[in-house]
Chains A and B, each alone.
Chain A
């Protein structure tokens, strides 16, 4: 086999579910993907495209229907069950509900493959557990019970447990689901640290493509008929990312690399003013369905002026001029006057 040592290689894999010994539902077939050590791989794609199925097959929770997976030059089929836990660890989407388990106990369960029959932690095990706790910055709540901490902290504890398992690969199914924006970015930056500092392959599925595009070294992009891989930027350039969610409601902004809601602009506005505030004003007008691009014809004008430490918004059309002290007040007026929302 000409497969390098430091790589996870998926060859001609088919994933799906087996019922009664027959291949029942093949969800994706002919999957060819790879990842290198030290890389953070984001798995993205629409619902039902087989992300979870692939991740579960990677963790041997589901048998592959066809094809092979190689790690460190060995095929998965050659690795006995007892060794497999040292190769891949897993963090699922499942919300845990365990009574009176401390964060420390949870994280030390990751040492299962290494400890004796009683599960007693050696000095080395303790060190690894403590390091995992440190890297996920859970030091302060190490003796708290996991049913008494926040969702974000619990997710970090689950990640620390996987880290303590000290496997070559860590697979995470939607680690940022249920979390607020701050926690999302914290989790992702922990994952990035783990990939870089510990030289591991971290594979995580994520719904938030904007998030994936910002951090991942590599994207495994699932569409309904094929799976593409490459740097996020590669997949943006060849339009693959844009096409995933390209529909009547959403479009991909190729310049900024983010998805935005598609609007049918009905009227033109010209905005004058400088800097930040005028950009935000444009955003607000876009949100209401007005085009702010420079055109010859405008339905009305908005002028942003600075007055002391405050701002003033001046709306001017053929008939009259009105002044507002916040974007909100301005939008209320615009909605009434130019959109006819009150008639609905």
Chain B
């Protein structure tokens, strides 16, 4: 009886969240320096026609890729964070605890700060963008390889966590060394990258990002049964029949695909990955990953869309760095989590 009522309640929650995401998506399309009437946006979306052709260009070539990126990145980072919190059994773990974002930063730093002397000045043209994406992917991929090698040998999950933190510190140490020796222009373009941006993505890049994230999310969902048991820790997982080593490898792979891809295209986006899983758990009041993964997808999309809307709020000349907006949302959530944990342990 209780279970049936709960199931209905969950379906209702999913409906509300879906409607919210759709509404925020439309609002995100609506906000921007050029005012396009809301009715026209709907018309462009559903018929592809409009009274002014430049509005179609703005919507399809600029705002739509940006909003879709917000949805994809929000979903990907939230699910990554959820997986990491479960695997490390640590409420403050996030997508970047494994050092994946740091690896990506190192890759980009080597490209931007190390080799920029050899590449043409129009760095943020499409070819330049692709090289940023590629170097970021290579950086995070190398960290993933390192992690997989370590996690196949090291049994204690806390050791892996500490190694992840060490990888992160080492990567950032090299990055700051490179920053020290680079000139102002290079430094500026690198710092811009680290602030994160949803707006640098074109339609072609979206064609790469979307399948990557879909694969990562599917993999995460397939692992939800195992993740549920992993919440109880290694001993219980093993004696319940979970292949712990394999599960860890697959979770790390899913996280790297998700976080690595988002970081490659948008730069390191902070706080979403730590905060959203807690919000989702609070909304659904469950620890079941069958609900939490799709729930995090919707909540994460909604929150990153909302952050994007705020970042390009009317009155600002250009949009604010997305990281500063996500921090303003994420930090209160993280403080709430810390205080709540304090209460539980008391």
Contact = CB atoms under 8 A, between A and B. Distances in A.
Most A Cβ at <10 Å: residue of B3, B240, B285, B286: B240
A90 B239 contact: yes
Interface size class of A (residues with CB under 8 A): 35 or more
Interface residues of B, number: 30
B239 A59 contact: yes
B8 interface: no
Given A90-B235, A105-B288, A165-B240, A117 B222 contact: yes
Contacts of A100: 281-282, 285-287
Interface stretch (B42-50, B201-209, B212-220, B223-231): B223-231
Contact of A105 (B91, B225, B242, B286): B286
B287 A105 contact: yes
Interface stretch (A79-87, A207-215, A298-306, A324-332): A79-87
A143 interface: yes
B243 interface: yes
A84 B286 CA distance: 29
A99 B287 contact: yes
Contact of A117 (B225, B233, B243, B285): B225
Interface of A is mostly: loop
B51 interface: no
A109 B232 contact: yes
A96 B232 CA distance: 7
A119 B293 CA distance: 14
A98 interface: yes
Contacts of A59: 235, 238-239
Given A81-B243, A89-B239, A117-B225, A98 B286 contact: no
Given A85-B241, A98-B89, A119-B290, 9 more contacts: A59-B239, A60-B239, A61-B235, A90-B236, A100-B281, A102-B287, A112-B241, A117-B225, A119-B224
Interface of A: 56, 59-61, 81-82, 84-86, 88-90, 92, 94, 96-102, 104-105, 109-110, 112-113, 115, 117-119, 142-143, 145, 147, 165
16 contacts: A59-B235, A60-B238, A61-B239, A85-B240, A88-B239, A89-B239, A90-B236, A94-B235, A98-B231, A100-B282, A105-B286, A109-B232, A112-B242, A117-B225, A118-B290, A119-B224
